[in-house]
């Protein structure tokens, strides 16, 4: 299942989130890899900035309340009841004209849905692959991956997919930045 929604959340909430996230006051943190902080391809610049609004075993950030509100609006588009296990904002910046696709990965080894809400118009597509993580195996992706779909970032575009699909982001080449909020949701028991 890969579903794309345009105008996913109301404009007032999107504007409020953009004003916070894109301000000079926003605290960002550097990671050498855009792929969950663990996978780095030698010779490929994958560094990006992130802000963890919520995650297991961490204290929620000041952004958690607005992320929860955004998550609720996103989840209203999905059948079933889900809870956030992780809300992570990412900022990828222009790294030149060469197209850079970041390492393929899964966000969690537990069964989950991924929701990616793009906060600005940009390039730097998200690539989803046919291959899926098999529970109980190392989460490193297979050596050969087949593209299933690509999603182009647009402000207020949401893509939701099964979290076991390997996926990757890419750096913008025609825009100065790419802002996205990455939700991981688990089904309520």
Q: Is the per-residue pLDDT at 74 higher than 50?
A: yes
Q: Which residues pair with 163 in a beta bridge?
A: none
**What is the distance between the alpha carbons of residues 135 and 140, in angstroms, rounded to a whole number?**
12
For helices 11-21 and 64-75, the axis angle rounded to 10 degrees is: 150
Helix (H) or strand (E) segment spanning residue 82: strand 82-93
**Residue 103, CB-side half-sphere exposure with 13 Å CA sphere:** 25
Residue 100's pLDDT band, with cuts at 50, 70 and 90, is confident
Within 10 Å of residue 75's Cβ, how many Cβ atoms?
Answer: 19
Structure tokens at 30: 């550097």
Residue 110's pLDDT band, with cuts at 50, 70 and 90, is confident
**Residue 131, CB-side half-sphere exposure with 13 Å CA sphere:** 17
**What is the distance between the alpha carbons of residues 1 and 22, in angstroms, rounded to a whole number?**
31
* Selected residue with higher pLDDT from 178 and 97: 178
Q: Would you say 12 and 161 are in contact if contact means Cβ atoms under 8 Å apart?
A: no
Single pTM value for the model: 0.90
């Amino acid at each position: 299942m890969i579903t794309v929604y345009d105008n996913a959340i109301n404009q007032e909430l999107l504007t409020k989130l953009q004003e916070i996230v894109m301000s000079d006051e926003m605290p960002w943190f550097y990671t050498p890899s855009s792929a969950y902080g663990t996978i780095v391809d030698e010779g490929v610049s994958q560094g990006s900035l992130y802000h963890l609004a919520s995650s297991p075993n961490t204290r929620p950030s000041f952004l958690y309340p607005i992320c929860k509100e955004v998550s609720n609006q996103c989840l209203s588009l999905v059948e079933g009841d889900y809870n956030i296990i992780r809300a992570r904002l990412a900022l990828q910046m222009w790294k030149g004209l060469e197209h850079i696709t970041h390492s393929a990965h899964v966000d969690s080894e537990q069964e989950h849905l991924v929701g990616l809400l793009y906060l600005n118009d940009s390039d730097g597509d998200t690539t989803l692959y046919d291959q899926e993580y098999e529970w109980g195996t190392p989460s490193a992706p297979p050596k050969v991956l087949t593209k299933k779909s690509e999603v182009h970032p647009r402000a207020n575009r949401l893509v939701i997919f099964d979290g076991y699909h390997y996926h990757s982001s890419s750096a913008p080449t025609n825009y100065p930045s790419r802002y996205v909020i990455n939700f991981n949701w688990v089904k309520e028991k």
